[in-house]
Amino acid sequence: MRLRDLATTYIDFMRNLGAEKSDEKAFSCFSNVFAEDVKKIENGALIVQGLPALREQLDAVRAAVFPWAITALQEGDVTVDESRSAAVVFFGWEAKGIGQHLTAVKLDFADDKIICLTEVFTKRSKQEQSQLQK
């Protein structure tokens, strides 16, 4: 699968995660998108490692800010580096009650799955930060 398609699969997963009320539907392709030993890095710190830990973290995000919608993603918002099996995706999203956000995430791939996602930029509202800390 092409890296651009894999990056689009990540966005589709995040779009579903923010829209589907049913956990079963929201996470239906979870293990097809992420590798078993996936890592997630935010602000330079490893926050989760492994599929079960990522699932727990995403469950917590859903509990805090569900629902959300991907509001801005254009063709130029996905940059691919074939030599490093990586892509950077820049997208906007909005969650009810906390407003609009911009996020850039670097996705590293192996065997057509994400092995590491590094959130390199998120512009959050102060209201969201306080909700996520509860």
Note down the domain range covering 8: 3-132
pLDDT higher than 60, residue 127:
no
How distant, in Å, are the alpha carbons of 38, 86, 94 from that of 74?
26, 18, 16
pLDDT digits (tens, 9 = 90+) for 74-118: 655 788 888 899 999 988 888 887 888 888 899 999 999 999 999
What CATH number is attached to the domain comprising 12?
3.10.450.50
pLDDT at residue number 130 = 56
pLDDT digits (tens, 9 = 90+) for 5-49: 999 899 999 999 999 999 999 999 999 999 999 999 998 899 999
Domain count for the chain: 1
User: Which band of pLDDT confidence, cut at 50, 70 and 90, is reported for residue 133?
Assistant: low
How distant, in Å, are the alpha carbons of 21, 49, 112 from that of 24?
9, 22, 22
pLDDT at residue number 46 = 96
pLDDT higher than 70, residue 134:
no
